[in-house]
Amino acid sequence: MAALPSIRGIREMQAWSDHARREGKRIVLVPTMGFLHEGHLSLVREAGKHGDCRVVSIFANPAQFAPSEDFDSYPRDLERDVRLLTEERVDLLFNPAAEDIYPAGYQTYVDVEEVSRPLCGAHRPGHFRGVATVVLKLFNIVRPHVALFGLKDYQQVRVIRRMTEDLNVDVDIIECPTVREPDGVAMSSRNRYLGPAEREAARCLQSALGKAEALVRGGETAARRIREVVVDEISRQPLARLEYADLCDPRELHPVEEVDGPTLLALCAWVGNARLIDNRILGDDEP
C-alpha cells in the first residue's frame, strides 16, 4: 500500500492546497485531534463524497483545554492513526507542531459569543474559543472547500457554523451523524479512559436519551418533566455524575420550556475520569 503523504509545515500545506486548487481540485478537510476511531473514519469516508482531495488534520489543540483538563493525558497514537488513514487512502495528513500553530507571541483568538455560552461552554470556559480559533486557523492553512464535523459534538458544530457565517469563511460545513458502539455508547477518544465497569455505566447516557425520546413520543412536552426523567436515569448509575442535561433550541441553543418542535437534549456526565457528552433531537417527526 502506498505510504500516506503528510505535511507538517504551514507554508508547505498552503502551497499544496494552492496547487490542488489551481488544478481545479475540491479539497475536503476532516479536522481531528488524533487517536482515531470509527467516528472519525466515518467522516473520512463521507469526505470522499464531497470533493477530490481528502485532507485529515491531526492536532491536539492546547487552546481548547483548560489547565486543569486532560491535555497531557489526552490519548495519542500517531503510528496507529497513520496506519488507519493509509488504509482509508486519504490524500494527505496535515500534522502541524504546536509551536507552529501557536508561536511565541501568539495573541489572536476567535470568540463566538452566545452560542459558546451554554452547555459545555458553561462548564469549560474558553473551550469553544480554543476550538473556533484552531478551526479558523486550519481553514486558513488547509484552505478547504468543505469541512466535516460529527454531531456528537453538537455545540461545537453550532459554534463553527456561526463562526463561518459571521466571518464570511468560504468553507461548506457538513454535519455527520454520531457513530455509536453496538450497545449505543457514542464513540469518543475519551472512552479509552473507561474501565470495564465504567464502560458498562456509560450506557446510561444513551438510555437517558432513549427515555426522554419515549416520553416525548408519548406526548410529554414539558422540558422540566423530561429533564427530571433524564436526571433520574443518570442518577441510578452510581459510577456516573451528571454535569448537565439541558433542552434547548437546536440552532441558537437557547433553553426551552416546551418541546413544541425539534428540540436539542444535550447531556454531559462524568464516568470515572471520562467526561462524556451525547445528545438527541427530540420532537422531530422525521425518522
By CB under 6 A, tell whether 33 contacts ligand PAF.
yes
Number of residues that bind ligand PAF (CB under 6 A): 10
By CB under 6 A, tell whether 32 contacts ligand PAF.
yes
145 included as an active-site residue = no
Q: Which 8-state DSSP code applies to residue 182?
A: T
- Given the rule CB under 6 A, which of 2-10, 128-136, 164-172, 213-221 is the region that contacts ligand PAF? 128-136
Q: Pick from 47, 120, 131, 282: which binds ligand PAF (CB under 6 A)?
A: 131
By CB under 6 A, tell whether 91 contacts ligand PAF.
no
- Given the rule CB under 6 A, which of 31-39, 42-50, 77-85, 111-119 is the region that contacts ligand PAF? 31-39
Given 3-state DSSP classes, what are the helix, strand and coil percentages for the chain, each rounded to the nearest 5?
40, 20, 40
Q: Pick from 91, 153, 198, 233: which binds ligand PAF (CB under 6 A)?
A: 153
Q: Pick from 10, 29, 93, 135: which binds ligand PAF (CB under 6 A)?
A: 135
Strands 172-176 and 92-94: unpaired
Angstrom distance (rounded) from CA 201 to CA 220:
27
150/283 with CB nearer ligand PAF: 150
Contact assessment for residue 28 and residue 55, using Cβ atoms and an 8 Å cutoff: yes
Helix (H) or strand (E) run with residue 148 in it: strand 146-150
Neighbours of 1 (CB within 10 A): 7
16/128 with CB nearer ligand PAF: 128
32/42 with CB nearer ligand PAF: 32
Residue 185: exposure state from Cβ atoms within 10 A (0-12, 13-18, ≥19): buried
- Given the rule CB under 6 A, which of 15-23, 27-35, 115-123, 164-172 is the region that contacts ligand PAF? 27-35
Residue in 19, 40, 123, 145 annotated catalytic: 40
Contact assessment for residue 279 and residue 264, using Cβ atoms and an 8 Å cutoff: yes
By CB under 6 A, tell whether 61 contacts ligand PAF.
yes
Please name which of 130, 168, 131, 172 lies closest in space to residue 153, comparing C-alpha atoms. 131
Give the nearest distance from C-beta 83 to ligand PAF in angstroms: 19
Give the nearest distance from C-beta 126 to ligand PAF in angstroms: 13
Grid coordinates standing for 132? 473556533
Contact assessment for residue 240 and residue 204, using Cβ atoms and an 8 Å cutoff: yes
Contact assessment for residue 135 and residue 156, using Cβ atoms and an 8 Å cutoff: no
Give the nearest distance from C-beta 152 to ligand PAF in angstroms: 9
127/199 with CB nearer ligand PAF: 127
Helix (H, G, I), strand (E, B) or coil at 220: coil
- Binding residues for ligand PAF, per CB under 6 A? 31-33, 61, 64, 131, 134-135, 153, 156
Active site residue ranges = 40
